[in-house]
Structure 1
Amino acid sequence: MKKMSIGCFLFVLSIFLLSGVNAQEQNDSTKVSSVSASSKEEKNRNVMLNAESANSPRDVNIGLPFQGDIVILENDVPVVYYFYPTFPTSAWRVDNSLSRIGLLSFEEGALLYGKVGFAVSSYDRDFSRKFKGFASSSINSMGSSSFDVTLTGPLKNGWGYMASFYQFNDRANGANYQYSSWSSRTSMAKLSIQKKYKKGSVKLLYKYVDDNKPAVSSYNPLLYMGDGETKALDNFSLGKDSYLPGSGIIPTVDRYQNTVMADLNSDEFSRTESHNIYLVGDHEFDNGWKLNYSGIYQKMNSPLSIVFPLSLSILNVAEQNANGRHFYKLGTTNEYTGKYVQSMYSQMSPQSDCEMYTVRAEMTKKIKNHDLRFGTTVQMFHRAYDVLTGSWRMTVEANPTIVTTTAGSDDPMYNPYAYGSYADDKWEKQALYASDDFKVGSRLDLSIGARLEHQDFTTYSDPYKNFEGLEDKELLKYKAKNKWNKVAYGKFVYKLTNHFGLLGDVCYNVDNKTTWDYPYRDENGASIDENGYTAGFHITSTGLVVGHPRATKPKDYEISVLKSSGGVYLNIGKKLNLVSKLTYIEKNNILGSATLDDPTSMMGVRADFGPEFYNIQTMGWSTDIMSEPFKNFSIHYLLTLQKPEYKDYSVSGFGQTYDYSDNIIPSLSQVLMEIDPSYTFGKGKYKAWVSLRYFGKQYANETNAFTYNPWWENFGGFDYYVSRNLTFKLQVVNFLDQAGVKGKIEGAAQIQKEDIGDYIGKPIVASAIRPRTIELKVNYKF
């Protein structure tokens, strides 16, 4: 850990005051006043305090790796149906138009939408009885800035309005993208009109979002020194420099082998535009039943550009030169004389055509000691998109340059069998759900709920790769009709005394999926592998090659998730609020990657031996404490000990079997801590706070050969409440100024522990920790 001198601090402070910040909101709703089986939201979570991004919710670790399960809700409906290619943050941002943000419990997210994990919930403002304005502006030391303003007020006869505008210019971690001044730029506007009447209200809201995000890449080259230690390269600053080509031009091919040089700075590959219409309302009937309803229709053209290492291997230029291979900057005869070259893979979706609607309606009523709830959701999501892919090499440095092995060549592809693809998918879902929160006597609180969802899925896919003239060939069609997704949960709290008791829960979730394993085919309809070969032996100019095509068909399958926990709570008002429990989670029948490299091939031959299914199992113990030991001071502490493991997971190919069963899942720590103290003083005008999150040792690949040492995510801030209408918030992300990496290492699935010595002192690629960032935000009400 580096120490920061006063002079250094003043210098950085002056820079940040002259440049820019997107300050993250500190979620202050961390107090737990009581323990209840009917709790619908998670407390003690700084939802928006994200160490990886200034504009996304944090990923709350529950012992399962992220697989697109987490959802963000706005006005009780998801902001997007699915994260590919429609990223949630391309249709949703935190600004003054939102009246509140929360985090739904695991069970509530499953009941409402069948999701696994914690769902972020947010709600747009209702109109106010008199004109009001809410404005915010922020800057940070990396050059990011934001501004937003929201206006609300009445019209006549129970009518009112809300209008807002939001602008965010993001420099991310200060990376110098040579092809763009920004890592993303987002504009969002909302306009709503609302009618309140005696029995309820109805609101119509339009939201427009224009989000420019050039590419998705969090990879950084570095040296792996063994035993969890890493070291930065001399020519690359971890977490700050860009590991995307400085030109912003990414080599790809479409599904018929036409070369497309994708420009990350063009609208086609970076700009998402969405139109969203919400209808939200509530109505109370004379018999005591209350109806809440919400619906969204969304039209979105959304590109998605992903660039990642093709394999673990980073080539040493000197060694390659000694073997007669030289590298030249694309389109020139200038030989590259640097130290390393990296093999890369691009997966680019140009602006896609996506359409979605979701409707949710819910009836509630309290009957004696029962809080009853009956609801329904109807969802449709249609996406039609191309995927362009490419295999190419680039220099290992900040803002790399694309290279080839032929002097003067304009062809960047080193693997001629890169594939594009096309898909046209449609999901249709209709669900019913119900829950009951009730008491049994004076000591037992119970909550039960269930969801039953009907699902139809249809997809069209083009398997004909690399063959021009087949554009009119009939697409493969697959239907998975009349599938049923199921959720059930139960929760209890038993009060042994007025302050102490037992609690527990169980949740079971079944979701239908479809494998994406259409075989590639040649012009005759025969299956070919990722290298373009049919099954069997092939004599080529470089030697004998064996084809390994996938011969499987698309099929549907079920993923099941079981979560159960039990423990104790102690609640002594503000002085101490404690929950301690054991939790067990298992997720079964997960579709995994089975792409392997041939260890005997000098040509870089790889083949896909999927589909491969595996399970995950996590046993953990967590203790969550909230306390106000003395006036104006509060502290939150969370300790989690867990063991997230692969189960029944092995991959076979090229005569070898790789067994990952009982290994720890990469990028998930077994020890987690969260410490959040805060102190308010000066008659409530000032608040100082710190948020610390400890991540224990992590494994970086499936065999657990690579490891990372523990680290802290750390935040600190100072809030100054000048008046009821004016607030200044100063925040420092990573004030300990840690530098390092985390996350899964691409292409390392086949590296065994006994071979790790071959990689010590050698370059690898992983995700970096966000560098220190100072942020200032001003909130003003008028």
Structure 2
Amino acid sequence: MNIKSVNKLHYLIALIAVFTSIEANAQEEIITVKKDSIIPKKEESKKSEEDRNVMLNAANNTGPREVNIGLPASVGGIMIQENGMPVVHAFWPELPTRTWRQSVSLAKPGLTKLSEVAITQGELGFAVSSETKLGSDTPSYVGNISSSSFGWIKGDVNASGKIAKNLYYTAGIYANYDPQSINFKFTNWADRTQIYRAGLTKKFENGKGKISILYKYSKSASITSHALFRYKLDGKVEEIDGFKIGRDNYMLPNGRFKYLDIKSGEYKWMDAGGRDNESFAHTVDIIGDYKLKNDWNLNYLVRGRYSESVSFNIFPTGMTQATPESGFTVKETGEVYTGSANSMILSYTPRTPLKTFMARAEIKKKTDKHQWRFGLTESLYSVDNFTNNRSFYYQAAEADPRQLVRQGAATGNTDADGFYNYNVGGEHHNGFDNKLAVFGSDTWEISDKFSLSYGLNLRWEKLKGDHYLTPRTPGFTLADGERTKFDHDWFHIGGSISGVYKITPSFGALADFQYTENNGLLTSYSGNVTPNLPKTRSPLMGLGLYYNHPNVSVVTQFSYLTRNNYLTRLNLVNPTNSSQNQVETVYYDIETTGITADIIAKPFKGFQLHYLITYQTPVYKNYNFNAFGNSYTYNNNSVEGISKVLMEIDPSYTYKDFKFWASFRYFSKQYANLTNVLFFAPRWETFGGVNYKINDHFDIGATVVNFLNQRGVRGSISGAELITDPAPYNDRLMVGTFIRPFTVEASINFRF
């Protein structure tokens, strides 16, 4: 079996099988994966000339695209690694893209396959991998400058080289200022991120290894936006007069929000466009490698990290039709308001101190028949009193919405500043999480026809801290309750085994089994209930066939996976009274089966066509909860926001120094609420571009995002989780996430 088939095998398994447990109230920054080729060894993959244009994100430029694989879209659920360990211990409250971006200061970017993550980290999923670029004998100066038709500016430079004998340096600056496509009134940028790097490398005189000390400082602020639209029962949406999807702002124009500080009990204001929405982190890595006796090789990492993380997000909830009797007035003028009024939730976490210590040591050796590896990882993470403050408010359903004050109603009245229900659903936890693991793996070439890869991860985890069980009634602060302690010791097993059998030189069979275990996270204790933390088991099985030909390569894969004890916190709206809100913690399982076919064809010189089709059937299991005095059951309902049919069509043509390419992604119907009575119609996401190599030092590129100029929405419909009768929602104003409008981007790369 050749390398290409193994590459596609692992990607296909990943498409069906990646999912991670998340908190539903986490900020929705999409962190996903780059589908680089995956070579059949234990290291991270390297980029190849056949990489497809799959990094492009239809939502934003913040991180890699979302890969729809049959489970709920995660927040930071895809691990991002740098120098062999995750860039953050836990994706909440600090999202990986706050401290990591793809950059010219990183070498060997790629994708770590599913089995590698299971063996080395004991987790289900796969990871974006990267290594800090180190200095060498040859000086290197590289950079990238990018911009877009909406004013996006990104600058990224790195310099590396030799200082003295066996002593080398590296230094880099990454700066991203992205307004996206929304005309916010309180800030010029939806994403504002800077990353600074510096490092020294010392090679040993005996030539057996080297050691490097690397420093990184990151600072980041981001804003997630929504769109207002008119919903149709056929799943399509229409723009309304005065609001352009993907262009107009649907956040309070002044960007100022009032909250009740859970810790101090003081009422405060936060500025979404200023430092109140800015996280920072300091990271020091010591990395090295050394050649041991008997052909064993050692590599290691020691990391110390301090960060202060901020979380800011706005969640739309119920839409109310305001009448003169409803008690709504415009905050700025005091005039009576009639029309559509949208209830909104502010979710805000001020800077939370986070401390992390990580280490990894690994020895490996290659023989004629085996690739042995043994290692140890350690990750200690402490949180100093994480809090999430909540407040509710109303705004008019319009572009640059006016804030509304409500008085005299039976429920949902605001204060004079226009806010109410302070800290309903507010969160707190405090403590530490320690993971210590040993792992080992081997690739065994049993014969010319049969090879077997296998590995095992044994992990001890200690989770200890405190939280509050006090109900989050309006006006809740920590002074209203007493801390309750928790203390857990868990033992987890993870690992994988996969085999490839060559029936003929170009045709063969594939089999894979993977298993991981987990229990809980510190964030599991954020709510006012003692979380249910039995062991979460995630078995994955896959069977497939492959065929290789010089002009066409095909892999088909059938996969089955299940995961129990998935945790989410739902922000629910009473279907009979949209002014009533409730946060409910829910545990459920997910079961997914799928079949995927992946084809790469090269019918003539310079042209390549990639085609991928996936059919999947993700469903909820054991999904039961109570809210507003009623019981709800969603067993066997399709997973919200997930398409059953996915297609990708990626043609490219290279002629001399030009490369022309396009990417078409198809998503079938997606259910927009838990009851499956509301849905979004099928949609396409489209990209296209051209790259030109000017000479050995410069190349330029142009990309068009959404060249069909679709005004699409996706995901879920806020406030509609409990709706069972869709009829009242026809022609109704709703709020949701969206894909970027037609955008032109350009870039220039240089290297000396």
* Alignment correspondent of 1:757: 727
Matched, 1:352 2:352: yes
* Alignment correspondent of 1:713: 685
Equivalent-residue separation in structure 2 for 1:578 and 1:96 (angstroms): 33
Closer, same or farther: CA 46–512 of 1 in aligned 2, 3 Å? farther
Matched, 1:747 2:719: yes
Task: Return the letter of the residue paired with 2:393.
Answer: W
Closer, same or farther: CA 40–641 of 1 in aligned 2, 3 Å? farther
Closer, same or farther: CA 409–72 of 1 in aligned 2, 3 Å? closer
Segment drifting more, 395-404 vs 430-439: 395-404
Equivalent-residue separation in structure 1 for 2:310 and 2:740 (angstroms): 25
Matched, 1:768 2:741: no
Closer, same or farther: CA 442–350 of 1 in aligned 2, 3 Å? same
Cα offset, 1:116, TM superposition:
2.6
Cα offset, 1:144, TM superposition:
0.7
Matched, 1:377 2:349: no
Task: Return the letter of the residue paired with 1:591.
Answer: L
Equivalent-residue separation in structure 2 for 1:58 and 1:777 (angstroms): 19
* Alignment correspondent of 1:280: 287
Task: Return the letter of the residue paired with 1:315.
Answer: T
Closer, same or farther: CA 354–747 of 1 in aligned 2, 3 Å? same
* DSSP 3-state at the match of 1:758: helix
* Alignment correspondent of 1:412: 418
Answer whether contact 1:220 1:765 (CA < 8 A) is retained: yes
Closer, same or farther: CA 101–469 of 1 in aligned 2, 3 Å? closer
Give the alignment of 1:180-195 within 5 angstroms: 180-195=187-202
* Alignment correspondent of 2:486: 478
* DSSP 3-state at the match of 1:110: helix
Closer, same or farther: CA 518–680 of 1 in aligned 2, 3 Å? closer
Give the alignment of 1:2-401 within 5 angstroms: 36=40, 41=45, 46=53, 48-67=55-74, 68-173=76-181, 175-197=182-204, 198-213=207-222, 215=223, 217-255=224-262, 258-267=266-275, 269-310=276-317, 313-317=318-322, 320-321=323-324, 324-330=325-331, 332-336=333-337, 339-384=339-384, 385-401=386-402
* DSSP 3-state at the match of 2:728: helix
* Alignment correspondent of 1:436: 442
With the length of structure 2 as denominator, give the TM-score of the two structures.
0.89
**CA deviation digits over 1:220-242, x for unaligned, max 9?**
22111111111122122112222
Cα offset, 1:141, TM superposition:
0.3
Cα offset, 1:652, TM superposition:
3.1
Equivalent-residue separation in structure 1 for 2:82 and 2:526 (angstroms): 39
Cα offset, 1:741, TM superposition:
0.5
Closer, same or farther: CA 184–467 of 1 in aligned 2, 3 Å? closer
Q: Which has the larger radius of gyration?
A: 1
Matched, 1:589 2:565: yes
Cα offset, 1:29, TM superposition:
5.6
Equivalent-residue separation in structure 1 for 2:716 and 2:403 (angstroms): 25
Q: Tell me which of 623, 643, 649 is aligned to 2:597.
A: 623
Cα offset, 1:46, TM superposition:
4.2
Answer whether contact 1:252 1:389 (CA < 8 A) is retained: yes
Equivalent-residue separation in structure 2 for 1:670 and 1:718 (angstroms): 32
Cα offset, 1:599, TM superposition:
5.7
Equivalent-residue separation in structure 2 for 1:583 and 1:334 (angstroms): 59
Task: Return the letter of the residue paired with 1:399.
Answer: D
Equivalent-residue separation in structure 2 for 1:769 and 1:439 (angstroms): 46
* Alignment correspondent of 1:738: 710
Task: Return the letter of the residue paired with 2:545.
Answer: V
Answer whether contact 1:344 1:393 (CA < 8 A) is retained: yes
Answer whether contact 2:575 2:722 (CA < 8 A) is retained: no
Matched, 1:692 2:664: yes
* DSSP 3-state at the match of 1:129: coil
Answer whether contact 2:518 2:536 (CA < 8 A) is retained: yes
* Alignment correspondent of 1:497: 504
Matched, 1:657 2:615: no
Task: Return the letter of the residue paired with 2:389.
Answer: L
Cα offset, 1:55, TM superposition:
2.8
Segment drifting more, 467-476 vs 287-296: 467-476
Q: Tell me which of 712, 715, 725 is aligned to 2:697.
A: 725
Cα offset, 1:82, TM superposition:
1.6
Task: Return the letter of the residue paired with 1:264.
Answer: A
* DSSP 3-state at the match of 1:629: coil
Answer whether contact 2:265 2:477 (CA < 8 A) is retained: no
* Alignment correspondent of 2:24: none
Equivalent-residue separation in structure 1 for 2:183 and 2:235 (angstroms): 29
Equivalent-residue separation in structure 2 for 1:157 and 1:416 (angstroms): 62
Closer, same or farther: CA 708–519 of 1 in aligned 2, 3 Å? closer
Task: Return the letter of the residue paired with 1:772.
Answer: F
Equivalent-residue separation in structure 2 for 1:454 and 1:599 (angstroms): 44
Equivalent-residue separation in structure 2 for 1:725 and 1:164 (angstroms): 18
Closer, same or farther: CA 136–590 of 1 in aligned 2, 3 Å? same
Equivalent-residue separation in structure 1 for 2:477 and 2:361 (angstroms): 49
Answer whether contact 1:186 1:209 (CA < 8 A) is retained: yes
Cα offset, 1:49, TM superposition:
1.8
Task: Return the letter of the residue paired with 1:675.
Answer: I
Equivalent-residue separation in structure 1 for 2:113 and 2:416 (angstroms): 54
* DSSP 3-state at the match of 1:343: strand
Cα offset, 1:605, TM superposition:
4.2
* DSSP 3-state at the match of 1:194: strand
Cα offset, 1:776, TM superposition:
0.5
Closer, same or farther: CA 232–124 of 1 in aligned 2, 3 Å? same
* DSSP 3-state at the match of 1:496: strand
Aligned residue-pair number: 705
Equivalent-residue separation in structure 1 for 2:666 and 2:118 (angstroms): 28
Cα offset, 1:282, TM superposition:
1.1
* Alignment correspondent of 2:641: 667
* Alignment correspondent of 1:4: none
Answer whether contact 2:424 2:476 (CA < 8 A) is retained: no
* Alignment correspondent of 2:655: 681
Q: Which runs of 5+ in 2 are unaligned?
A: 1-32, 409-413
Closer, same or farther: CA 607–124 of 1 in aligned 2, 3 Å? closer
Equivalent-residue separation in structure 2 for 1:44 and 1:719 (angstroms): 14
Closer, same or farther: CA 499–393 of 1 in aligned 2, 3 Å? same
**CA deviation digits over 1:696-735, x for unaligned, max 9?**
1111111111111111111111001010111001111111
Equivalent-residue separation in structure 1 for 2:335 and 2:281 (angstroms): 44
Closer, same or farther: CA 566–28 of 1 in aligned 2, 3 Å? closer
Answer whether contact 1:270 1:303 (CA < 8 A) is retained: yes
Answer whether contact 2:648 2:664 (CA < 8 A) is retained: yes
Equivalent-residue separation in structure 2 for 1:177 and 1:777 (angstroms): 25
RMSD: 2.6
Matched, 1:577 2:578: no
Equivalent-residue separation in structure 2 for 1:470 and 1:443 (angstroms): 64
**CA deviation digits over 1:407-429, x for unaligned, max 9?**
99633124367464432131111
Equivalent-residue separation in structure 1 for 2:51 and 2:492 (angstroms): 31
Closer, same or farther: CA 657–595 of 1 in aligned 2, 3 Å? farther
Equivalent-residue separation in structure 2 for 1:471 and 1:381 (angstroms): 26
Q: Identity over the aligned pairs, expressed in percent?
A: 32
Closer, same or farther: CA 306–776 of 1 in aligned 2, 3 Å? same
Equivalent-residue separation in structure 2 for 1:633 and 1:767 (angstroms): 36
* Alignment correspondent of 2:6: none
Cα offset, 1:736, TM superposition:
1.2
Task: Return the letter of the residue paired with 1:372.
Answer: W
* DSSP 3-state at the match of 1:556: coil
Task: Return the letter of the residue paired with 1:690.
Answer: A
